Chain A
Amino acid sequence: MLACEPLTFESMVGWRIIADPDAIDATPWPAGSRVVRISPDDVFLIGAVEPTVPTDPHAIVTPEHGFAGATLTAERTADIALHHIEWMLPNEGARPCVAQGQIAGVPAKLVLHTDGTALLLVACAARHELEERLA
């Protein structure tokens, strides 16, 4: 196991969009925002500009301040996968992608990039648990 420095989590402020998958696919996201597709009908949009979903009048678009995030190097991502993730991560061919499940027993999400780096997302309410367990 690598000698681990504490992860630096910061609040990830953005928008949560729940809408028809087709409507989400067709939505032009604000420039500069970062799209985390949690599921076909669920997007966490990291960024300040409120998005609109033109083709779904019933879409839920609401501020989302409930996540904390930490950027992981490729080495730290691999180390966390080796020691703290019991489920199979998507292989490199499937990246970039979002994977979610328990990490060190805490529900969390990994935004996996093609270069092996990742953004680790956790609910602010469980952030302290994940910090302690990954330290």
Chain B
Amino acid sequence: MSRVVYDGTPIEYQAGDSLAMAAVRAGAHPAHGGTLCLAGDCGNCVAIVDGTPWVRTCQTPARPGVTVRRHPNGSHPSPGGPEHHSQVTVRHRTADHVIVGAGDSGVAAAMAQRDAGHEVVVFDAANGDEVVGVFDGPSLVVRRVDAIEHWHAHHITLATGAAEVQPVCPGNMLAGSYTPRAAAALQAAGIDLGTVITVGHELVALHGDGRVREAELADGSRMACDSVIADLGSAPRDVLARMAPMVPVEVVGSAAESHALPPAPSAGFVCTCGKVTVEDLEGVWAKGFRDLELVKRASLCGVGTCQGGMCMPHLRSFVADRSGVEPRPFTGRPAARQVTLGEAAAGSHIDTFRRTPLHGEHEALGATLDKFGGWFRPWNYGDAVEEYWAAREAVSLGDVSTLGKMLVSGPDVVEALERLYPNNVHDIKIGRSRYVINLNERGHVLDDGMICREGDTRFLLTFTSGGASTAEMWVRDWIETWGLKVHVLDRTVSHGAINVTGPLAGELMRRAGVADEDRPKFLQHRHLTVAGVPCHVMRLSFTGEASYELHHQIDRSVELWRALMELGRPLGIKPHGLQALFGMRLEKGHVIVGQDTELDSSPRRINMDWAVKMDKPDFVGRAALARTANLPDERRLFGFTMDGPAPLEGSVIRVGGDVVGHVTSSWDSPLFGHAVLLGWQKREPHADLVQIDGRDARVSPVPFYDPEGARARM
């Protein structure tokens, strides 16, 4: 005979025993009590197996050396165990037809499908294949011995059969109570259950000290016994079916049949997984929770290990008895079988974070890389203030490859852009560009960027790094909705971009081979060769200094970057990261959509009415702006200045102790020697003097830096 270790004690088992049967064979209960079904339906046999908690021991074959520990009595086990630290294999499979359950109805369904020429796969928990969830697709997640499998099927049939109803009465958490099928299985395995009695709905209580010694019946009689077989009928084994009310699965056999509810319980544990008693249900009912779903949520009856597999008939009967209406079963939730954290995470991935073509250059320069807008980007190269001064007083490079870049072309492109953007598009001359915001139908700011006209019917659009993916959907959706003929190419990831910025940016361009007369002026763009690399050069400014954005094919990025760094060395060039960039743009008062704006920020709220031409016949968001133009709107984004240190972004803005808004951006300006901020005031009258972090801050006009914009035009 072989042995397993149960709560530290070796116990013998026989071939074919599950761990639960081995425990009963040794005179013990696999958990701490409760009726055993030995069919995987209830949670009364779950234990810690080889370090993994919540394992149904009735579904786990006994093997030599397996260690089993019972869960703490009255509480839950700690998560943990060796499986949580191992990688679980995941497989993705497909089939014409998947059938869950290999009983009579499952076999019949499988034969019918095979006869029809379909590829059929059958899973049955008895064979170690536990279906833990049904999902849209339709699809199934199956826990198999060696892996988690995700099955995608054209058809799914659930032939899961019926579960035996367990008794709810005082004493129903004692050991020694079995369903008929469980008792038969134990006896067939040669396990002596002692004096056995079989009872039906006449059972009103079980008595004993840890295990059953007497069964009390409705007529007041008591029957002495060692084991009780509770023959109370059956209920659909429908956890998976209840999980998929909107998924096109077929339910056949006993799982699809209606079964009479048991009598309403009057005492005892209804939910043995969560230890919810009839008294608990009555308390919830008395508080006014009079719907099955509400009773479930308020009492937690049905949210445990078996997901209502055992308590559902009694819970429905309880509600039906008190309401007079038999309620429909509640929705099942994955997992129908407990899975480890490793199994739940198998095959899942964190979001992809992209790298710009200059990633290696940033690393080589000692940059601190962080994740912004779906990209790894340099935060700084060690000293953001040095980077700031390089851009303000000399020349600096910034990697802006992450900007959204979209080519649009077609006979209807001007019409499309006029409808998409609130600014005028038709009067942008070829070779010129214009700053634009884009709005949703509610007139709220979605993103911003530039429109560069390349030809009569061809434009390049740019978007923020974080907004690029949404922008493509936004552009395509609207163009398709309007039925306009416009071609769209999102080339965000195929083009790199380097921003050359600073008062010596023009000089660096000259040293890179661009003649003064060829250099585009402010808000112009031109195709030029820079340091031997073909570039689309855009003249604009986010930093407040003269800036040239060099867009180019990504396989030339490193070459271009290195050449510019080398040519700029005598000029005092340094690269700058986001930290310095964000500070410089804040000094210019440029908002970052998503940071300085909220989901419902209109152009008026962020003082950008100038970017909206209401005299245009139509554009996305125009109707909403027109409708709300004369409504009072107290929210405004303001610039503030205050003595340093700069408060944290997100800090509360108060007036006289009342909260009126919060800080969206802040920066200790090396130039000004004090902090500059953007932040919201959300009620009128707007104050000129506010308090942030217990210190005074004054409303200040923006831009804080170079309000005439002379430096950007240098």
Choose among A42, A59, A65, A104 the residue that contacts B554 (Cβ–Cβ < 8 A).
Answer: A65
Kindly state whether residue A129 has any CB partner on chain B within 8 Å: yes
B555 and A88: CB pair below 8 A?
no
8 A Cβ contacts from B392-424 to A: 407, 409-411, 413
A59 and B553: CB pair below 8 A?
no
Q: Smallest Cβ distance from A106 to chain B, in angstroms?
A: 5
Instruction: Give Cα A21–Cα B188 distance, bound, in whole angstroms.
Output: 70
Instruction: Give Cα A82–Cα B149 distance, bound, in whole angstroms.
Output: 9
Kindly state whether residue B157 has any CB partner on chain A within 8 Å: no
B355 and A125: CB pair below 8 A?
yes
Choose among A65, A66, A87, A105 the residue that contacts B350 (Cβ–Cβ < 8 A).
Answer: A105
Kindly state whether residue B287 has any CB partner on chain A within 8 Å: no
B352 and A62: CB pair below 8 A?
no
B349 and A123: CB pair below 8 A?
no
Query: Given the complex, which residues of B lie within 8 Å of A83, measured CB to CB?
Result: 89-92, 347
Kindly state whether residue A45 has any CB partner on chain B within 8 Å: no
Query: Given the complex, which residues of B lie within 8 Å of A88, measured CB to CB?
Result: 94, 152
Instruction: Give Cα A18–Cα B188 distance, bound, in whole angstroms.
Output: 72
Instruction: Give Cα A122–Cα B447 distance, bound, in whole angstroms.
Output: 27
Q: Smallest Cβ distance from A133 to chain B, in angstroms?
A: 7
Smallest CB-CB separation from B488: which chain A residue?
A18
B352 and A59: CB pair below 8 A?
no
Kindly state whether residue A19 has any CB partner on chain B within 8 Å: yes
Choose among B93, B348, B352, B411 the residue that contacts A107 (Cβ–Cβ < 8 A).
Answer: B352
- State whether A106 and B352 are in contact (beta carbons under 8 Å apart), knowing that A62-B491, A124-B493 are contacts in the complex: yes
A58 and B349: CB pair below 8 A?
no
Kindly state whether residue A47 has any CB partner on chain B within 8 Å: no
B92 and A16: CB pair below 8 A?
no
Instruction: Give Cα A8–Cα B352 distance, bound, in whole angstroms.
Output: 20
Residue among B90, B349, B351 with the most chain A CB within 10 A? B349
Kindly state whether residue B242 has any CB partner on chain A within 8 Å: no
Query: Given the complex, which residues of A lie within 8 Å of B555, measured CB to CB?
Result: 11, 13, 65
Kindly state whether residue B150 has any CB partner on chain A within 8 Å: yes
Interface of A is mostly: mixed
Residue among B89, B351, B491 with the most chain A CB within 10 A? B491
Kindly state whether residue B332 has any CB partner on chain A within 8 Å: no
Kindly state whether residue A94 has any CB partner on chain B within 8 Å: no
Instruction: Give Cα A87–Cα B93 distance, bound, in whole angstroms.
Output: 9
Instruction: Give Cα A10–Cα B189 distance, bound, in whole angstroms.
Output: 62
Choose among A60, A67, A81, A106 the residue that contacts B489 (Cβ–Cβ < 8 A).
Answer: A60
Scan A60-71; emit 1 where CB is below 8 A from any B CB, else 0.
101111110000
Kindly state whether residue A126 has any CB partner on chain B within 8 Å: yes
A62 and B489: CB pair below 8 A?
yes
Kindly state whether residue B187 has any CB partner on chain A within 8 Å: no
Query: Given the complex, which residues of A lie within 8 Å of B350, measured CB to CB?
Result: 105
Instruction: Give Cα A59–Cα B410 distance, bound, in whole angstroms.
Output: 7
Scan A105-119; emit 1 where CB is below 8 A from any B CB, else 0.
111000000000000
Q: Smallest Cβ distance from A8 to chain B, in angstroms?
A: 17
Residue among A11, A81, A88 with the most chain B CB within 10 A? A88
Instruction: Give Cα A114–Cα B116 distance, bound, in whole angstroms.
Output: 27
Smallest CB-CB separation from B455: which chain A residue?
A58
8 A Cβ contacts from B455-498 to A: 457-458, 485, 487-489, 491, 493-495
A66 and B349: CB pair below 8 A?
no
Query: Given the complex, which residues of B lie within 8 Å of A81, measured CB to CB?
Result: 92
Kindly state whether residue B354 has any CB partner on chain A within 8 Å: yes
B347 and A58: CB pair below 8 A?
no
Choose among B356, B407, B553 the residue that contacts A65 (Cβ–Cβ < 8 A).
Answer: B553
Instruction: Give Cα A84–Cα B346 distance, bound, in whole angstroms.
Output: 11
Query: Given the complex, which residues of A lie within 8 Å of B409, measured CB to CB?
Result: 18, 58-60
Query: Given the complex, which residues of B lie within 8 Å of A60, measured CB to CB?
Result: 407, 409, 458, 487, 489
Kindly state whether residue B106 has any CB partner on chain A within 8 Å: no
Query: Given the complex, which residues of A lie within 8 Å of B93, measured CB to CB?
Result: 82
Kindly state whether residue B274 has any CB partner on chain A within 8 Å: no
Kindly state whether residue A1 has any CB partner on chain B within 8 Å: yes
Instruction: Give Cα A117–Cα B329 distance, bound, in whole angstroms.
Output: 49
Instruction: Give Cα A124–Cα B227 distance, bound, in whole angstroms.
Output: 68
Kindly state whether residue B353 has any CB partner on chain A within 8 Å: yes
8 A Cβ contacts from A73-89 to B: 81-88
Instruction: Give Cα A81–Cα B553 distance, bound, in whole angstroms.
Output: 32
Instruction: Give Cα A84–Cα B92 distance, bound, in whole angstroms.
Output: 7
Kindly state whether residue B621 has any CB partner on chain A within 8 Å: no
Query: Given the complex, which residues of A lie within 8 Å of B488, measured CB to CB?
Result: 18
Instruction: Give Cα A11–Cα B553 distance, bound, in whole angstroms.
Output: 12
B152 and A133: CB pair below 8 A?
no
B554 and A85: CB pair below 8 A?
no
B491 and A16: CB pair below 8 A?
yes
Choose among B94, B349, B357, B487 the residue that contacts A18 (Cβ–Cβ < 8 A).
Answer: B487
Q: Smallest Cβ distance from B551 to chain A, in angstroms?
A: 12
A133 and B349: CB pair below 8 A?
yes
Q: Smallest Cβ distance from A74 to chain B, in angstroms?
A: 17
A125 and B349: CB pair below 8 A?
no
A65 and B349: CB pair below 8 A?
no
B553 and A63: CB pair below 8 A?
yes
- State whether A18 and B493 are in contact (beta carbons under 8 Å apart), knowing that A1-B89, A86-B150, A105-B349 are contacts in the complex: no
- State whether A18 and B489 are in contact (beta carbons under 8 Å apart), knowing that A65-B554, A66-B495 are contacts in the complex: yes
Choose among A16, A41, A82, A123 the residue that contacts B354 (Cβ–Cβ < 8 A).
Answer: A123
A125 and B493: CB pair below 8 A?
yes
Query: Given the complex, which residues of A lie within 8 Å of B91, measured CB to CB?
Result: 82-83
B92 and A126: CB pair below 8 A?
no
Query: Given the complex, which residues of B lie within 8 Å of A123, measured CB to CB?
Result: 354, 493-494
Kindly state whether residue A128 has any CB partner on chain B within 8 Å: yes
B92 and A86: CB pair below 8 A?
yes
Query: Given the complex, which residues of A lie within 8 Å of B485, measured CB to CB?
Result: 58
Q: Smallest Cβ distance from B310 to chain A, in angstroms?
A: 33
Instruction: Give Cα A67–Cα B351 distance, bound, in whole angstroms.
Output: 19
8 A Cβ contacts from B528-547 to A: none
A124 and B89: CB pair below 8 A?
no
Query: Given the complex, which residues of B lie within 8 Å of A62, measured CB to CB?
Result: 407, 489, 491
Q: Smallest Cβ distance from A65 to chain B, in angstroms?
A: 4
A66 and B92: CB pair below 8 A?
no
B457 and A16: CB pair below 8 A?
no
Residue among B91, B356, B357, B493 with the most chain A CB within 10 A? B493
Instruction: Give Cα A11–Cα B410 distance, bound, in whole angstroms.
Output: 30
Smallest CB-CB separation from B91: which chain A residue?
A82
8 A Cβ contacts from B340-399 to A: 347-357, 375
Instruction: Give Cα A128–Cα B114 distance, bound, in whole angstroms.
Output: 44
Choose among A16, A66, A86, A87 the residue that contacts B347 (Cβ–Cβ < 8 A).
Answer: A86
Given contacts A18-B407, A86-B347, A124-B493, 6 further A-B contacts (CB under 8 A): A18-B487, A58-B457, A63-B553, A83-B347, A104-B349, A125-B493
Q: What are 27 contact pairs spanning A and B, CB under 8 A?
A: A1-B89, A13-B555, A16-B491, A18-B409, A18-B488, A42-B489, A58-B409, A60-B407, A60-B409, A60-B458, A62-B491, A66-B491, A66-B495, A81-B92, A82-B91, A83-B89, A83-B91, A84-B347, A105-B350, A123-B354, A125-B355, A125-B356, A125-B375, A126-B352, A126-B354, A129-B352, A129-B354
Residue ranges of B at the interface with A (Cβ–Cβ < 8 Å): 89-94, 150, 152, 347-357, 375, 407, 409-411, 413, 457-458, 485, 487-489, 491, 493-495, 553-555
The 8 nearest A-B residue pairs measured at CB: A66-B494, A105-B349, A125-B354, A18-B487, A123-B493, A65-B553, A125-B493, A58-B410
